Structure 1
């Protein structure tokens, strides 16, 4: 079974026969430990947080086997990805997807679905903790009011403003859900405190996971409906991430902080803001990966599927919608 690999330390990556050779190195470029060999058939993708030394031959090897690599900077910001040549893109799908973007009513209808799914899953999180003696009634009531306004919107910027209000109310409730950490205001580049760091880091991980699943469908990742398509970004992954952030990212944050798996000592503060130390990154990534692998019984398929596979199923549903086969309904937690 293929799996994701996370690279935190400086490593030299090369090909050894039909395996990937990982060689750690120090600041002077000298080997700093034993090499590790991983069969290429077992690798689905790479998440790179440290220095990666590789040549074009290696990337050709990765491309041949359909292995993507996602890169993050010092502040845990997603900076880009390497993908093999698109092997599933179809002209008919691209035309249909573009049409749904250019026709305002079709675009708004899809954008509403993304916010509808996100709001539902956000409320599910809040009600979960409200039923466990966390007083979140005011937040739930306010978000419910915002959610009733989604269907009345007629423009994407109006929807984005509504989404911002929902998120602002939701993030303000984090202080009640999580003990020992305060949210204050949402800050991004760079994050100003621990909760903001985890949200930014987790959102980038979710974005990369959605992007990876889109790659394995006929959808074009640069043509989106809620977020405005732009240069040098795969904005469709941002659309899908709205639905899955409450499920994958936020629940992981609540777990690692409430169970004290991530401690205040796992963060560092400097003049530019707050950052997550390597120890904290490893702990969060481990919990996030466990969340992706967790399975639920799918009501339609009548079998257990992983959260990661749920993202791919969402891509298939979106594909059917733009092709006029079946109306898209956003994923909503049913348990």
Structure 2
């Protein structure tokens, strides 16, 4: 178990050279720190500074999820996995607009193809109303090459995603998502998508940390010191595969109920049970789903990180992962 997901109300403390997790109902579980490389912690948990220092020293990353279920930040291990030659090569790529846009288009186009693949999956299984959306998304996707800078590319991608989200109701009536709302999510589907995207982003950031890439130097999202924007870039590929498909499965199989949501006027949040269901659905794909001879999409994300590093070093052209319907 490389990644540990904890629930709201959990406390984490150090016990000798192990981690002791105490659930809200008083149950305790002790595990060796060597078995953990990443802990995802939502708001409402108790973590001591002693255990944070211990985790940092042992090379364990701690990702923080905010009140709305989105990634809020992380505590990085004290020994980052970086290399000067990769950092310089990555900076040169980001400063070269032509090379930056080439890589950004590859990432956005792969994400678009994975969105289209999601709709085609259900189209091939009798959801004929999705045909028009698929056609329209292909038209919007073809416009990506017109973009002259990352901002224009993201605008084209945003229009494509509007078509994509509006089509969800043709998969299942309860998947209606006419507009994305994030801070705060305003309805059940938005709350599911926001939390699921946060889980995928934290997974992408964790796997990128195993490469020598600098997560603050990105090609699509604006490079900043305050966030791992390269993980946002990489997550463009995997959000449709991991986050969206997890939401589809839970809704179409009727696995969600009223107790999974906490609703107020203009705000809808996931309860502990709702978050657990999303995490388990994504973990199934991350750690157990067979993909191209590998076990789990976590291995695929790591492979993409290494491929990006090779592209940065001009060792090979980056060809992103695309899932077929």
TM-score by length of 1: 0.92
Q: 2:63 aligns with which of 59, 70, 85?
A: 70
2:163 aligns with 169
Q: Structure 2 CA distance, aligned partners of 1:255 and 1:40?
A: 33
1:17 aligns with 16
Contact 2:13/2:19 (<8 A) preserved = yes
1:90 aligns with 83
1:320 aligns with 310
Residue 223 of structure 2 corresponds to residue 229 of structure 1: yes
Deviation at 1:296, TM superposition (A): 2.8
Please list the CA deviations of residues 113-146 of structure 1 after superposition, one character each: whole Å capped at 9, or x if unmatched. Answer: 0111011111111111111111211110111112
Please list the CA deviations of residues 243-293 of structure 1 after superposition, one character each: whole Å capped at 9, or x if unmatched. Answer: 001100111000000001112442222134111111111111111111111
Deviation at 1:81, TM superposition (A): 0.9
What pairs with 1:48-67 in structure 2 (closer than 5 Å)? 48-67=41-60
> The residue matched to 1:75 in structure 2 has which SS?
coil
Contact 1:48/1:72 (<8 A) preserved = yes
What pairs with 1:175-190 in structure 2 (closer than 5 Å)? 175-190=169-184
Contact 1:181/1:194 (<8 A) preserved = no
1:242 aligns with 236
Deviation at 1:319, TM superposition (A): 0.3
Q: Identify which of structures 1 and 2 has the higher relative contact order when contacts are C-alpha pairs closer than 8 Å and 6+ apart.
A: 2
Residue 208 of structure 2 corresponds to residue 206 of structure 1: no
Deviation at 1:66, TM superposition (A): 1.5
> The residue matched to 2:59 in structure 1 has which SS?
coil
Closer, same or farther: CA 112–12 of 1 in aligned 2, 3 Å: same
RMSD: 1.7
Closer, same or farther: CA 161–50 of 1 in aligned 2, 3 Å: closer
Q: Structure 1 CA distance, aligned partners of 2:137 and 2:51?
A: 48
Q: Structure 1 CA distance, aligned partners of 2:28 and 2:295?
A: 35
Deviation at 1:326, TM superposition (A): 0.1
Q: Structure 1 CA distance, aligned partners of 2:49 and 2:68?
A: 27
Contact 1:262/1:284 (<8 A) preserved = no
Residue 299 of structure 2 corresponds to residue 290 of structure 1: no
Q: Structure 2 CA distance, aligned partners of 1:304 and 1:181?
A: 31
Deviation at 1:178, TM superposition (A): 2.4
TM-score by length of 2: 0.94
Q: Structure 2 CA distance, aligned partners of 1:270 and 1:210?
A: 31
Deviating more after overlay: 40-49 vs 158-167? 40-49
1:28 aligns with none
2:186 aligns with 192
Deviation at 1:334, TM superposition (A): 4.0
Contact 2:91/2:217 (<8 A) preserved = yes
> The residue matched to 2:38 in structure 1 has which SS?
strand
Closer, same or farther: CA 215–164 of 1 in aligned 2, 3 Å: same
Aligned length in residues: 324
Q: Structure 1 CA distance, aligned partners of 2:4 and 2:246?
A: 19
1:29 aligns with none
Contact 1:7/1:50 (<8 A) preserved = no
> The residue matched to 1:22 in structure 2 has which SS?
strand
2:261 aligns with 267
Deviating more after overlay: 95-104 vs 265-274? 265-274
